[in-house]
A and B are shown apart, each in its own frame.
Chain A
Amino acid sequence: MSAGVGGSAGIDESTGIPEELRSLGRLFRRTDPTPDRAISAAYGAARRLVRERDSVGVLEPLGDSALRCRAVEESSDVAEESSGAAEVRTLSFAAPGRLVELELRPARQGMFLARGIVLSRAGQPSPAGAVIVRHGQGECRGELDDCGGFAVPGVPAGPICLRLHTRRADGLVTHRTGSDWFVC
């Protein structure tokens, strides 16, 4: 079998795939296969499919400091200096009548402290309720204080999503809103 530099020789006629591509495929499959744990995690996502068909309002992303900082650095050629630094990341989300400011602060290795504040628009009082951080292994939560502040320790690095539950004085949950998954 001969594969000239620019020619089409070396193509497997049964598949139409050039030899180099098949060789690369074998190489990647041997050296960099999809990890079994990743496949298991993907299979496990089916649990979310079944559970999450209830109606949950949307926490709409408004901003992410990681993306903003990067854009600024790229435009000012200072990306190299701060590369690799573990820094606090801030994100904001909007829900009907509410604004959630979230700060992800690196804690002990591979973990984050999520803290922030839930602001009410139009002069409404701070809501009672909780912020729940869902992650691959489960979830952790932080109750809102009188000012709408919250702290959720022990958030593992990896995919997470936020839930905001607000409730009445008698404890009944009145609204559930949730963000999409993102990786911290």
Chain B
Amino acid sequence: MTERERSCGTAVLLSRLAVGDERAWRELVDRNSGVVWGAVRAYSANRADAEDAWQATWLLLAENLHRLRDSEGVSAWLVTTARRESMRLARARRRESPSGLAGLLAETADGTETPESSAVRSLSAARMAQAFAQLSHRCQQLLRIMAVAPDASYEQIGTALGMARGSIGPKKQRCLRALRLRMLASGSPEAVEGVAV
């Protein structure tokens, strides 16, 4: 989806919302949920914190939407708010750092085997999780958002992470290269043959 198509679509949703069409709100949520969840997870130490920041973000949008003057600003407002609320919560709850997949492993390592935890424990997934966890926090944040919200624009990603739009592409390449190197170092054949996670 291009920026223009995204903006036009949001403009239509906002006009429907203005006449009380609540289905438009659900579409607005569906359209932005990937990048917002990616942003709160990138800056939250665990899923519980991420859910709180996520809920605060949508409540804030609901009560401030009428103040946003143009449709192009909605997505940027959402990801900026998601990041700010996640960081604010991390400070308030004294969290040390956002979790990567290693943190996810720890969160599910309580003896309760779920389909999710068994999936992450599969060999190839574990290798990728290990390689991912060895990346810098900045790379983890960037790749997480790009992975869960592949349709997000560089503009959205830059806003979500507080990075200049022009630096997203080069940073992405460096982070992917680092990921490949770590997978190679772990002897993972997926690093050269494509990863079947």
Contacts and interface: CB of A to CB of B under 8 A. Distances in A.
A107 interface: no
Given A24-B132, A42-B29, A52-B62, A183 B144 contact: no
A41 B53 CA distance: 12
The residue among B56, B66, B85, B146 with the most chain A CB atoms within 10 A of its own CB is B56
Contact of B37 (A19, A34, A161): A34
Interface string A3-34: 11110001000010111111111111111101
A38 B51 contact: yes
Contacts of B197: 23-24, 26-27, 30
Interface stretch (A77-85, A123-131, A144-152, A165-173): A77-85
A75 interface: no
Contacts of B88: 64, 66-67, 182-183
B109 interface: no
B5 to A, nearest CB: 16
Contacts of A180: 60, 63-64
In the complex, which range does the number of interface residues on chain B fall in? 35 or more
A24 B54 CA distance: 21
A34 B41 CA distance: 10
A136 interface: yes
B91 interface: yes
Interface string B29-50: 1000110010001000001000
Contacts of B52: 157-159, 183
Nearest to B85: A183
Interface residues of A, number: 60
B62 A27 contact: no
A79 B120 CA distance: 32
B56 A183 contact: yes
Contacts of B92: 64, 66-67, 89, 183-184
B53 A183 contact: yes
B8 interface: no
B20 interface: yes
Interface in B50-74: 51-56, 58-66
A122 interface: no
Contacts of B12: none
Given A45-B62, A67-B88, A25 B128 contact: no
Contact of A29 (B56, B148, B176): B148
A108 interface: no
Contacts of B161: none
Contacts of B33: 34, 39, 42
18 contacts: A17-B150, A20-B176, A20-B179, A20-B195, A24-B144, A27-B129, A37-B51, A39-B29, A46-B26, A48-B62, A49-B63, A50-B20, A52-B63, A67-B88, A67-B92, A159-B52, A181-B56, A181-B60
